[in-house]
Structure 1
Amino acid sequence: MSTLVWPPVTTGTRLHNQEESTRLRELEWLLASLQDTLRSLKAGLEECAHLLAPVEPGSTLVLSSLRSENLKGFITRVGARIVKGDIYLRIPSLPPPKPQTSYKLSISSLPTAPTMMLQQLTTTRTLINACLDVVDATCWTGDSNNADFVSSQMRLLHDNIQEAKASLKGWTDSQKPWNEDPMDENAFMPPLPPNVAFHLSVSEAAVLLHVRTLEAAYPNTGTNTPLSFTPGGVVSSYSGLSLRERLATALGGPRPAFHDEAHEVFMYKGQEVRVRDKVRVESQDPSLMAAMAKLGALERSIALSRRALDTVMGKADDDDD
């Protein structure tokens, strides 16, 4: 069997010119096909924007602590705003007024009340709108036949989609911890007690609520000896319970706190405090789950398109994403 190729492959400048001509035709075809991809991406982004839009009556989410009666209630989300809600607390450090059996927190409906916002959803909507602007600029304003321009726009689109998805997953670099982002007490009616910290956030496309009761970190107990400091500005004790705490409990004092922040000290509203009791409740939000799933699919689609374009442009190994 002969291994010769007929007609024989030319070498040198002629072969290089033919390869370059083929690559340019393939690039022209790919740039044209990317216009369809961008239109499909725009439709998906518009669906995500609709899922996060402030459309009445909004989403009512049930709040219930697992395996306990510590927290029960609901909140209603309209876009990034929490417009109403009632939360009932049964925790030892927050006794209810007599003759009630639980302490009620009601989100104020007064027009003068501060707006309770989920900042992560605001960030996500801003990034999605930025993506839509990028798609419009790529399809209508810029030169759709310029491979370098399209490549830079696709990179920007990819980055924005990744940031929007990360914002729905939660705990991004821009997200403040609870003690640096206190809730305005006037957002509730009656106002939130000064020893209660109420913090809402988004984690894995679910609304996450933490309610903490606080106490002074160093009450006047006849000693000025502080706790030991650990890296990061958080204060902790060396042991689980101090001798003073054990004696106080034995003499009928309040029980010690048992949670992951029990022996840390936080700076909250200019004061050093400890967390006496902590309740964590997670409520799945179908709209947020759908939006994050769509953003994940869009992220994969744009990544494939970018890889194909970089390969044809001959710079597949230039960027490490």
Structure 2
Amino acid sequence: MAVEIWPRLAHDELKRAVEVSEKRELDWLIEALHETLTDLKHGLEHCYSLLAPIDPGSTLAVSTPRNEVVKGYVTRVGTRIVKGTIHVRLRTLPPQTLTIDPDHPIHLAPLTSLHTFLTQAIDLLGITLSYSYPTAHPPPRTTTTSSAQFLAAQLRLLSQSLLEASSLLKGPPLTTSDPTWTSRSIAPSHFLPPPNPTHPSPLAHAANGVPPLSFHLGIQDSCLVLWLRSLEPADAPVNFGTKLALAIGTTRRLEHDEAEKTFGFCCSHDASPAPTDDGRGGGPVTRHASFPAGDVPLSGRRPVDVFVREKVRIETADPSLLSLSSKLAALGRTLAAARRNLAAVMGEEEDREGEDA
């Protein structure tokens, strides 16, 4: 079945009529997008408020289910863990209590980056609204090609920011460990009592520069995840009794996915002095062979090779982060629909860059 226009129009007149119709449709769509972008801005501001440092914050239980290996709590205010007490009873270490110093809170790097992306997204929407819609109720106007392209480019940047924010909340896959623990484990200075000869911190460095316990916090699937690892220097001598017990089977090493692997370990922001050379006169140390590629130790110390004797993972659901993740996903879908509509009216190929798969 064919569709014909009556009365018939000449080819040039028909072409001009199509252009006028497409122009009117683009004008209408851009005016309609004003309400969509305003709602997106309000939604992002609500997401921003979920990360705001408002007291008393969120108190989260940090405990292993069905056993007493790890029992305690932490309090998150914004992007920081400001206080908490955790009792640890690992099989390879004496029982100990870890108390977070309120004067030296722990900054969660994924949430700090997420805060930055949300700030950028809100600022970007503010610029877009002020440029494309000068007043709260803009009068009908003729949309130029350049203004439509500017709006499309701004929405693409916004989509990329939302995707990055969602990726930070999703974190690494649940089936894998976060490799950043080797360089971003929490330094002893964040815990009480402070390290000193008479009252050493539970995470204080031993004489060989390796703390007995790695305390690492991360985000996976919008949940706060704590990894505790009992560490042992790779070059530590094994006494004859342990060797014999392992040989005859009376003692067994704990089995986990990081057993028998060597890691280059260095605490984040460690206050200990950094060595000036590698001990062989080779000049300043910049990277260790076993240190993860692209991850430079923040403390300035040379990473030390360690084994992971024992490993415990504790996952804690955070209602604010779960709500934030759902909100970002909904905003991402709304933005994707707006971008598809704009691309279709502009006659451009659909751009899926920055959209969540």
Could you tell me which amino acid in structure 1 is paired with residue 344 of structure 2?
T
Which of the residues 95, 105, 118 maps onto 2:98? Answer: 105
Which of the residues 121, 140, 145 maps onto 2:130? Answer: 140
> Do the aligned residues in 2 keep the contact of 1:245 with 1:256 (CA within 8 Å)?
no
Could you tell me which amino acid in structure 1 is paired with residue 101 of structure 2?
S
CA gap 1:272/1:23 in 2 versus in 1, 3 angstroms:
same
Partner of 1:61: 60
Structure 2 Cα separation of the partners of residues 273 and 170 of structure 1? 25
- 3-state SS, counterpart of residue 264 of structure 2: strand
Structure 2 Cα separation of the partners of residues 120 and 220 of structure 1? 38
**In the comparison of the two structures, how many residue pairs are matched?**
287
Could you tell me which amino acid in structure 1 is paired with residue 86 of structure 2?
I
Deviation at 1:249, TM superposition (A): 2.7
In the TM superposition, what are the counterparts of 1:271-290 in structure 2 within 5 Å? 271-290=304-323
Which of the residues 131, 134, 140 maps onto 2:121? Answer: 131
CA gap 1:67/1:18 in 2 versus in 1, 3 angstroms:
same
Could you tell me which amino acid in structure 2 is paired with residue 108 of structure 1?
D
In the TM superposition, what are the counterparts of 1:1-321 in structure 2 within 5 Å? 5=4, 7-96=6-95, 103-109=96-102, 111=103, 113=104, 115-141=105-131, 145=143, 146-171=147-172, 177-190=180-193, 191=201, 192-193=203-204, 194-220=211-237, 247-249=244-246, 255-269=252-266, 270-317=303-350, 319-321=351-353
- Quote the RMSD (CA, aligned, Å): 2.4
Deviation at 1:301, TM superposition (A): 0.4
Deviation at 1:184, TM superposition (A): 1.2
Deviation at 1:181, TM superposition (A): 1.1
Query: Could you report, residue by residue, the CA deviation over 1:233-254 in whole angstroms, capped at 9, with x for unpaired residues?
Result: xxxxxxxxxxx97743356875
- 3-state SS, counterpart of residue 227 of structure 2: strand
More divergent stretch after superposition (158-167 vs 134-143): 134-143
- 3-state SS, counterpart of residue 334 of structure 2: helix
Which TM-score applies when normalising by structure 2? 0.75
Structure 2 Cα separation of the partners of residues 263 and 142 of structure 1? 59
> Do the aligned residues in 1 keep the contact of 2:34 with 2:133 (CA within 8 Å)?
no
* Residue segments in structure 1 that go unaligned for 5+ positions in a row: 97-102, 223-243
Which TM-score applies when normalising by structure 1? 0.83
Partner of 1:228: none
Query: Could you report, residue by residue, the CA deviation over 1:260-279 in whole angstroms, capped at 9, with x for unpaired residues?
Result: 11121100022100101111
Deviation at 1:10, TM superposition (A): 3.0
* Residue segments in structure 2 that go unaligned for 5+ positions in a row: 135-142, 194-200, 205-210, 267-302
> Do the aligned residues in 2 keep the contact of 1:82 with 1:118 (CA within 8 Å)?
yes
Could you tell me which amino acid in structure 2 is paired with residue 313 of structure 1?
M
CA gap 1:272/1:9 in 2 versus in 1, 3 angstroms:
farther
Partner of 2:278: none
Structure 2 Cα separation of the partners of residues 286 and 320 of structure 1? 30
